[in-house]
Chain A
Amino acid sequence: MYNHLLSYIVFVPLITALLLLFVPGHYQRLFKMAAITATAFQVLLAIFIYQRFSDMEEAAARTEQADFFFQLEEKTDWIDLNLSTFGHLSIDYHVGVDGLSITMVILSALVLLIGAISSWQILIHVKGYVVLYLLLCTSVVGCFVALDFFLFYLFFEFMLLPMYFLIGMWGGPRKEYAAIKFFLYTLVGSIFILIVMIGLYASVIDPVETGIHAGIISNGADVTVEQIVQVQQAIAANAIPGHQIVRTFSIISMLEPANYIPDSLLAVTSQSTIFGYPVRLLAFLALFIGFAIKLPAVPLHTWLPDAHVEAPTPVSVVLAGILLKVGGYGMIRTAYSIFPEGAIYYAWWIGLLGVIAILYGAMNALAMRDLKKLIAYSSISHMGFVLLGLASLTSEGVSGSLFQMFSHGIISSMLFLLAGVVYDRTHDRMIENYGGLASKMPYFTAMVTIAFFASLGLPGFSGFIAEILVFLGSFNSATINHLLPRWMAILATGGLVLGAAYYLWTLQRMFFGPYYVKKAAWNVALKDLTFMEYTMLVPLAVATLAFGIFPSLYLDMVNTSVSGFVHFVSTVGEDNLKLILTK
């Protein structure tokens, strides 16, 4: 049971979707129930995974010395291409979790369930909707657990198609425009990633498989560390003939500089350049841009407000709650881990992008008249904290940016659900068309207040802890590793002030003061929260409070992995950077 937990959590929605294809389309309730059941099952599995993970994390923390270690790993050969003189190309089905990904898996399971419940309001083409939504569930969770670049890319790309149709068919008035814009932007990003992926697998070997083909390791026997070192030395000495080399997409192999074929472009030792720039730094940049579009970082963010405004509520929830995190997670898992020298070399610029996103997003939010657009821009501002924390490359900063992704996942889901509440009742989201809703919808107003305060970083809510950690990290960076200047952290606090401004102002305009709505018909339509809306909102509100008051709940999960990650990036990155820049 425990051996295949991760496969279950990835493929349960896919299998449900395939079964649903054969059910006639008019059983609408059955489809919605199936979606809720499948995602609820994912939550259950996520709880199992969490339990299993924390047990093993304690054991592992005592024994393991490596910077990265993964749990609940599953690895099977998937594709093995024999390309004669080019050697073999191996693609594995390899999944596993560490502290960096487990929190994302838990978050996705939770948000996807909420999204499935919120999908109850979908009325047209229910069959197509549910099938696409379940496909999305599979690809999102798959993305967070994949440890093979090919597998990761497959899931990453496969998110696009369901999202395109979910926005384009069930969205608002300008849905086609928003859908195609989302698709094109993200595809541009994934092409950047694809280029690096091609380069990586052309350069990286699988030491174990290569050893087996070259006769250094006997098939089936236990592999010792000495044997792997022997293979790596043979590769470094060009002693293994081309047709015996096994190239791989394994992210774990890519982490180790010794696994690179010495004359390949992406090897640290080859010191190759393109147009005068070191190839490895360019590769880092390409991956960074690819994921920055998804995050989104300013100035690559313009797809987000459109997609959010036009998407139906559940899709907005999933988009803000999880899909944006794929960008941040992808940076950590690939760009930062595989090319750590880029992380150090570009730290200042990444920090600057973070600060710009924080301030620019917040200022835009201040100017928005559409409630959903306001929340979309506040998302951009909050994702800026993720960049700033990552750029600092300190334990506090990285934990902070991971925590920010987690807490933003919870809070933004809540915010979009709340925006959906208004929109469902009146089909209008303009802030100026409402006033004094507190008297008419007191419980709704209470929820909005919780969500707004959580989002603006009030102490006691998870957003506060995350942002404090990011500030600490980026402020200390000047003394610990000299990567970020202090003024960045100081400027970023401006984001908090602006955040308070736009949220409080919105609260005042929409909810307090004299009661006013634009159309008389809305008086009847505007009712307080329904039972179903409570079932979605209350767990999220409890979660943001719980993680705000007991942040160790979260930090215990990530601590070991974060310190390993920071240690790896700073030591290996320094070494690589020296080698690359000596040329």
Chain B
Amino acid sequence: MNKFTLHTGIAAPLDRANIDTDMIIPKQFLKSIKRSGFGKNLFDELRYLDEGQPDQECTGRPLNEDFVLNKARYQGASVLLARENFGCGSSREHAPWALEDFGIRSVIAPSFAEIFYNNCFKNGLLPIVLSDAQVDQLFIEVEASEGYQLTINLEKQVVVTPSGEEIAFDIDGFRKHCLLNGLDDIGLTLQHADEIKAYEAKRKAEAPWLFGAIQ
């Protein structure tokens, strides 16, 4: 997994609440058995005017010029500014895979859907929750000045605006540790293998019908 420590990049404002996982990556692109290559179909139905097909070359497809990520001033954006309940809907991890593959490293919103929020951390993508007022302020600033960049300092847990203002955010300690070090959850959990085995032995004694029944 990619580490996330300090990141500076162009912010793009996606001014719409309840962005769902079908919008982030439509279902026809979920058929790949790989984790990579989803970026060209990120926000496919918002980004292109035609209906996207799997395995289709996307250069040359008609673009929706009104869509934020198609605007010249937001080219190369790596921080996505969004509204409430971002990532609602399905559990598909293809959503963070598509954002990450496109080059987004962090999404800032007033709230996230839970499964999406979890999935981000497994893929080196940092979801940041700020208050409605703070998100409103960032929307106003990013729209007011072209080339607006945000710096995200995970160690200090702050978003830094171009004027040097630092906006603090909360993050779970374990997730922060994993992101800062690019750690794989499975390896960490397996350090507790003895405790898992001890639990399992107890479980087997109290509910033997859950063991060996399915095979």
Partners in one complex: no
Binding site for A on B (CB under 8 A): none
